[in-house]
């Protein structure tokens, strides 16, 4: 189906291109799907790429935006953090952002929203006001839904994958997308945790039915 490709939508800390795809030239209240937040979780990039391929071939009934790899510096270097050594899921300018961190891999940055990847995504969120944000990671498999309006979509993903649906990840995540999206802006946020180390060829079968349900409203 028709879509718009922005191959140089934004740049990373080390000036690498961040690609963005969207269902039309102008989109309002889309579902925003993000992969590659953490560069050492390639499963999230692969899942976003598979979802994008599905969206290119099928007719979605909702506007959509896909950022397959938000952290190209980390993806190339196989690091969680971006090119400045910052954990992008702790750098959102949420009300609870905190400069404190226990391990370097959770470095939240010198100040909230200090990283170019986060500035680009938060500006996008303010502009298009997504109805739902889904970001794709890998860890112990689960679906984390923050915000009751996201529950139908989260249940579809949990059913599709067989992974547990959780109301939170189980530990505090100040400066995360779920804090910024739901707690500050009332945009529901779903975090998909694919099995860490899952083979690329096995990922799509876990989420094909859930993704198609979410983007066709069926
Ligand atoms: Zn992650």
10-residue averages of pLDDT along the chain (218 residues): 95 98 97 98 98 97 98 98 98 98 96 98 98 98 98 98 95 96 98 98 98 92
User: What local confidence, expressed as pLDDT, does residue 218 receive?
Assistant: 72
- Residue 203, phi then psi, degrees to nearest 5: -75, -45
Q: How far is the CA of 50 from the centre of ligand 1 (A)?
A: 18
- Cα torsion 210, 131, 192, 41: sign: positive
In the reported structure, the alpha carbon of residue 215 is separated from the centroid of ligand 1 by a whole-number distance in angstroms of 23
Q: What domain range includes position 63?
A: 4-216
Tokens of 192: 């998909």
Number of domains in the chain: 1
Closest to 69 in 3D by CA, of 126, 121, 2: 121
Q: Nearest to residue 183, comparing CAs of 91, 93, 119, 84?
A: 93
What is residue 1's predicted lDDT score, i.e. its pLDDT? 81
How many angstroms does the Cα of residue 175 sit away from the middle of ligand 1?
14
User: What local confidence, expressed as pLDDT, does residue 58 receive?
Assistant: 96
Q: What is the residue whose two structure tokens read 């959102």?
A: 92
For residue 1, report the distance from its CA to the centre of ligand 1, in Å.
30
CATH number of the domain within which 33 lies: 3.40.630.10
Token pair, residue 143, equals 């679906």
Q: In angstroms, what is the span from residue 138 Cα to ligand 1's centroid?
A: 6
CB of 121 closer than 8 Å to CB of 69: no
Ligand 1 center to 36 CA (angstroms):
8
3-state SS assignment for residue 145? strand
């Amino acid at each position: 189906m028709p879509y718009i490709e922005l191959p140089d939508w934004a740049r990373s800390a080390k000036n690498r291109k961040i690609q963005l795809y969207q269902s039309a030239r102008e989109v309002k209240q889309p579902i925003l799907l993000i992969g590659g937040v953490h560069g050492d979780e390639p499963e999230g990039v692969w899942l976003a790429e598979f979802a994008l391929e599905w969206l290119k071939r099928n007719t979605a009934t909702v506007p959509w935006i896909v950022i397959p790899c938000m952290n190209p510096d980390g993806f190339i270097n196989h690091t969680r953090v971006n090119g400045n050594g910052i954990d992008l899921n702790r750098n959102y300018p949420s009300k609870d952002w905190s400069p404190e961190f226990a391990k370097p891999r959770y470095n939240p940055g010198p100040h909230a929203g200090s990283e170019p990847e986060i500035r680009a995504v938060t500006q996008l969120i303010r502009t298009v006001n997504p109805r739902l944000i889904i970001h794709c990671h890998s860890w112990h498999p689960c679906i984390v839904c923050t915000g009751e309006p996201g529950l139908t979509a989260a249940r579809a993903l949990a059913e599709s994958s067989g992974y547990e649906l959780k109301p939170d990840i189980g530990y505090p995540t100040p400066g995360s997308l779920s804090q910024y999206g739901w707690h500050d802006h009332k945009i529901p946020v779903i975090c998909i945790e694919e099995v860490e180390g899952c083979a690329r060829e096995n990922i799509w079968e876990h989420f094909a039915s859930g993704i198609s349900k979410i983007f066709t409203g069926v």
